[in-house]
């Protein structure tokens, strides 16, 4: 087990608490739909390249009537970056030692009218300390009301801390969640931020509010759409859209690369991939 300082332990505890809140809410939605689906939790351990204990995490997955597949993972890892990869990480160019703790969530929905979603928040320590994360909505069949609701909730959370956050982090999400070889965005956006450093308490409060905003907005959207009628054509459109989502996560996603480069749990890293996808 890796040793944590006060800030590291505080961040870890919050991410695990947020996981518990989110999973409870998603299971409640399944109950409302007449399903007894629940999360299965699988713990995993990581060994650092040095041979020392390198932390680990817990992978949580649920497959239900509303959530065709949802993964909610928490991890706390540390050790030393291997090779040249550390030079690409903020603050690790001259010292490859690192610590990272966070939550990562991806939900693929059974009803094409319910948007898929991604959310993650993380705290990293190299020679610097910073938070990163965000949330973005990924509807196969976009609905303006849901997009507006999601963005308005995130904007309110951002504005409570800094009026510049939402426009800056929204643009960052628009630029980041883009598939160059398709020349399309992955979804309808949200916010994305990285290297938020400085006063720990201030930045931690912001990251907590991002988590709370997600927990406020997304379940509300799910309940609004989960009983909507849909057609086979809608399902096929969703599966083709999922193919684009998979392409982004396998080719461009930073989190996927970080997990693979740091010896993370493969099943947890690839839990973002949809259960069924197609390419026309």
- Residues with catalytic roles: 118
Residue by residue, what is the 3-state secondary structure of the chain? CCCCCHHHHHHHHHHHHHHHHHHHHHHHHHHHCCCCCCCEEEEEEEECCCCCEEEEEEEEEECCCCEEEEEEEEEEEEEECCCCHHHHCCCCCCCCEEEEEEEEEEEEECCCCCCEEEEEEEEEECCCEEEEEEEEEECCCCCHHHHHHHHHHHHHHHHCCCCCHHHHHHHHHHHHCEECCCCEECCCEEEEEEEECCCHHHHHHHHHHHHHHHHHHHHHHHHHHCCCCCCHHHHHHHHHHHHHHHHHHHHCCHHHHHHHHCCCCHHHHHHHCCCCCCCC
């Amino acid at each position: 087990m890796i040793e944590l300082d006060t800030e590291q332990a505080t961040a870890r505890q919050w991410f695990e608490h947020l996981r518990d809140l989110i999973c409870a809410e998603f299971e409640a939605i399944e109950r409302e739909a007449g399903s007894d689906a629940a999360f299965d939790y699988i713990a995993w351990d990581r060994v650092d390249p040095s041979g020392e204990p390198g932390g680990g995490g817990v992978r949580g997955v649920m497959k239900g009537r509303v959530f065709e597949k949802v993964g909610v993972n928490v991890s706390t890892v540390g050790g030393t970056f291997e090779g040249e990869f550390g030079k690409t990480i903020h603050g690790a160019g001259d010292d490859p030692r690192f610590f990272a703790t966070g939550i990562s969530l991806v939900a693929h929905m059974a009803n094409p009218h319910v948007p898929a979603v991604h959310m993650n928040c993380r705290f990293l320590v190299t020679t610097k300390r910073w938070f990163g994360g965000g949330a973005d909505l990924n509807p196969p069949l976009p609905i303006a009301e849901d997009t507006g609701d999601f963005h308005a909730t995130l904007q309110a959370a951002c504005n409570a801390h800094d009026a510049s956050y939402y426009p800056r982090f929204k643009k960052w999400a628009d630029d980041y969640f883009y598939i160059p070889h398709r020349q399309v965005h992955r979804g309808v956006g949200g916010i994305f931020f990285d290297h938020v450093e400085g006063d720990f308490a201030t930045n931690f409060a912001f990251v907590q509010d991002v988590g709370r905003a997600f927990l406020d907005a997304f379940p509300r959207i799910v309940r609004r759409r989960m009983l909507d009628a849909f057609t086979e054509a809608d399902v096929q459109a969703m599966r083709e859209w999922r193919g684009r989502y998979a392409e982004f996560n396998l080719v461009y996603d930073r989190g996927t690369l970080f997990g693979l480069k740091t010896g993370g749990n493969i099943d947890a890293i690839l839990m973002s991939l949809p259960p069924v996808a197609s390419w026309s």
